[in-house]
Amino acid sequence: MSIEAEARLARALQELCLPTMRAHYEAVARQATAESWSYATFLLELVQQECQQRRQKRIERWLKASKLPLEKNWQTLDLKRFPLKIAQQLRALLSGDFLDRQENVLLFGPPGSGKTHALCALSQELVRSGRRVLFTKSGLLVQELLAAKRDLRLPAAIKRLAQWEALFIDDLGYVQQNREEMEVLFTLLAERYERGSVLVTSNLPFSKWEQIFKDAMTAAAAIDRLVHHSIIVEMNLSSYRMEKAKKAKGSNPGTAPEGKESDA
Ligand code: ADP
Ligand code: MG
C-alpha cells in the first residue's frame, strides 16, 4: 500500500473509532499473506481483535465503576474453608442466571465468616462475565439516599441505581439507623422488587430485622420482598481472622470447620 493510502486508512479507522484495528492491521495483513488467508478471514480476525479489546476495556470500566474491593476476589477466596454445600451454592451463582431472574442473594453469618469476601468475589466474576454490579456499604448507601430525599431527588437516585443489574448492599443492619434512614432503604428495596437483583450481607438473622427497620410491619414487608425470589446462604462459620491468628500462634492447629453442614 502506498504511504498516502496508509495515511488515509489510519485516518478512516480513527474516525470510525477503531484503534485496535488501526494498531494491528499491518501485522495481521502480514500474517494473512504468509498463511494465505481469504479476505473474509483477514477481516474477521481484525474485527475480532477490536471486539475483544473493547470487551476488555468495558470490563475494566465496569470493575472500576462497581466500587468492588478488587483484592477480595475469587482467587484469594479460600473455598475449602466453607462447607461443601456453601461452596457449591457460590459456584452455582457464577453463571449469573439468577440476575436474569431478578433474584436476590442473601448471605448471613457472624462477623468475619467471609460474607463480604465471598460476595465480592462472586460479584467480581459476574462483572468479568459482562454483568453490571454496584458495591455499596449499607450505611453509606442510606446516607446517599437520605441526602437525595432532602433534595427531592430520591426517585431520580433510585432510578439511577436501576441501571445496575445487581445492587450489593454490604452489612445491612450493621449500623443502627433512625426511622427516616430506614424508610429510604425500604423505598429502595420496594422499588427494586422484581426489577433488579439485590445482594445482601448481614450479621443479623431475619428475626432481628425489626432492629433495622424499626417496626415489625416494615421489617416483615422488607423481608417479604427480599426473600420472595432469593437464594439464601447461611455461613455459620467462625471468624477467618481469628482462626488465622490462632493458627499463627500455633495454639490451635487444624480446626478448620471443614465438612460442617449449614442448615441453609
Ligand atoms: P464478614 O463480611 O463475614 O464479616 P469478611 O468477608 O470481611 O467477613 O472476612 C473477614 C476477613 O477474612 C477478610 O479480610 C477476608 O478477606 C478474610 N476471609 C474470610 N473468609 C475468607 C475465605 N474463605 N478465604 C479468604 N479470605 C477470607
Ligand atoms: Mg462484611
Per-residue pLDDT of the chain (264 residues; tens, 9 = 90+): 899 999 999 999 999 999 999 999 999 999 999 999 999 999 999 999 999 999 999 999 999 999 999 999 999 999 999 999 999 999 999 999 999 999 999 999 999 999 999 999 999 999 999 999 999 999 999 999 999 999 999 999 999 999 999 999 999 987 666 888 888 988 999 999 888 999 999 998 888 888 888 778 888 888 888 888 899 999 988 788 777 778 777 755 444 444 443 333
The C-alpha atoms of residue 192 and residue 189 are separated, in whole angstroms, by: 5
Ligand closest in space to the Cα of 170: 2
Q: Are 104 and 199 in contact (CB under 8 A)?
A: yes
C-alpha cell at position 233: 446462604
Atom of ligand 1 nearest to the CA of 117: 6
d(CA 54, CA 32): 23
**Hey, which residues does 201 pair with through a beta bridge?**
107
Q: Which atom of ligand 1 is nearest to the CA of 171?
A: 2
pLDDT of residue 175: 67
> Which ligand 1 atom is the nearest neighbour of the CA of 82?
23
Give the per-residue pLDDT at 225: 85
Q: What is the pLDDT of residue 263?
A: 37
pTM of the model: 0.84
**Atom of ligand 1 at shortest range from CA of 201:** 2
Q: Which three cell numbers stand for residue 128?
A: 468479568
Is ligand 1 within 6 A of the CB of residue 193? no
Q: How far is the CA of 234 from the centre of ligand 1 (A)?
A: 14
CA 248 to centroid of ligand 1, rounded, Å:
16
Rounded CA-CA distance 63/127 in Å is 6
Which ligand 1 atom is nearest residue 235's CA? Answer: 3
Contact 102, 197 (CB under 8 A): yes
CA separation, residue 225 to residues 193, 204, 219 (Å): 6, 17, 10
- How far is the CA of 57 from the CAs of 64, 72, 101, in angstroms? 11, 21, 27
Residue owning the nearest CA to atom 16 of ligand 1: 117
With the most atoms of ligand 1 within 8 angstroms of its CB, the residue from 240, 241, 242 to mutate is 240
CB of 96 closer than 6 A to ligand 1?
Answer: no
Q: Which ligand is nearest to the CA of 110?
A: 1
Gap from CA of 136 to ligand 1 centroid (Å): 17
How many angstroms separate the alpha carbon of residue 109 from the centre of ligand 2? Answer: 9
